[in-house]
Homo-oligomer: A and B are copies of this chain.
């Protein structure tokens, strides 16, 4: 089967209408959740539930088949089983002979090639063939499909609504993609532009989606969970192209034999030679993260903050232990350098801070000690942002019950916003996580990403600087 030409995927991200095959009246079923999610996401297009056993679902008329829908249908999402999904494809084929309106289908069910059986493989080939000859693009099978927060389209029954932002999540595992969003959703740790769960990538694959994102002004950072790509060479070429315009953050499994074997039975992926992937990512400036936590946190930093102009970092804290842990981690990355602070600013800090404070020991590090206040963080940050040799600031907070968390966050956000010209990068670590939710939430709302661990933030800043270095090549 020849590979279809990649075209514009607007019918996926901005369809005028969507049919939901397998829609349900039962509030506990995916086929109902999905309808509700389209509403809560604010989807403005038309919604057509399809279920032969129902006349209506809540406010919607319900159809027996896709063929029956009188109005234009641009996108179809099927929640039915593998075998039934093939029947739906046949209905679409028939419909398109006269109507030519269905542009794409999201096939959520598994039970295809990933089973590793002839039956599963044959079923996927059949599904794919029918759709190819009907001119219909296929997302999946074995996936959760798309979310676009700009248009409100969703085929994801797990994520009810999501705040807008610049992160684009491309994932071969729907559950993994959802895990990130649901992990982040509670206090708004990341804003989302697009989410695409690609599953078996029988047709629409990572390359297609990345081409779409290249010129998407909303797409600030592209996050990819990869098990393996069938068109590896083109995939890597696309990684190169898109990395030149925006950061690409990757989590790829397949470093070990058991990981590769598992990928095969999960999405039928061939993980490929991990070293080749890894080398290419590095060469092309894509950022490969080593852990799930690093993946999550790096995406969030790029989504909310500007990329630093250089590699010189100042660290500000009032808790010496976490500060020391952060410095120890920073010191292990040759890409980063502690910023030199001017003598003039050191003098100002000496007057401003307690005699017990640590000023530029080591260079670029300031521990104001427990004698801190909400406003002091503002004052010291303003001084650091004013330093010509500082490109970014890591601030490590442990907001105790003695501080007003909201005021602290406001003072920090004020210092950040009052920067003149190109803003410097500010990453905040908020320790005391169980008690500091208010502070975290307020900082996140001000587009200041917060992190739980003072060593992970060093890794995140290093990833940002890797991108800075790549962009300046």
A interface residue numbers (CB < 8 A to B): 28-30, 33, 110-111, 114-116, 158, 171-179, 182-186, 225, 227, 251, 253-263, 265-267, 291-293, 319-325, 327-332, 338, 355-356, 358, 361-362, 365, 367, 369-370, 398, 400-402, 431-436, 452-456
Contacts of A116 in B (CB 8 A): 361
Q: How many copies does the complex hold?
A: 2
Contacts of A356 in B (CB 8 A): 110-111, 114-115
What's the least CB distance linking A119 to chain B, in Å?
9
B176/A262 in contact, CB under 8 A:
no
Nearest residue, chain B, Cβ from A108: B370
Question: Knowing that A176-B319, A225-B321 are A-B contacts, what are 14 other residue pairs whose CB atoms are under 8 Å apart, sorted by A's residue number?
Answer: A29-B402, A173-B320, A175-B431, A179-B432, A227-B321, A253-B324, A262-B320, A262-B324, A262-B328, A262-B358, A266-B367, A267-B320, A292-B456, A293-B456
CA of A258 to CA of B183 in the docked complex: distance in angstroms?
A: 33
Q: Which of B30, B171, B329 has a CB less than 8 Å from the CB of A321?
A: B171
B175/A320 in contact, CB under 8 A:
yes
Q: Which of B110, B114, B401, B456 has a CB less than 8 Å from the CB of A370?
A: B110
A398/B361 in contact, CB under 8 A:
no
Q: Which of B227, B262, B291 has a CB less than 8 Å from the CB of A453?
A: B291
What's the least CB distance linking A386 to chain B, in Å?
23
Contacts of A183 in B (CB 8 A): 431-434, 452
Q: Which of B158, B262, B321 has a CB less than 8 Å from the CB of A173?
A: B321
Contacts of A435 in B (CB 8 A): 182, 185
B173/A115 in contact, CB under 8 A:
no
A158/B328 in contact, CB under 8 A:
no
A362/B434 in contact, CB under 8 A:
no
CA of A174 to CA of B328 in the docked complex: distance in angstroms?
A: 18
A328/B256 in contact, CB under 8 A:
yes
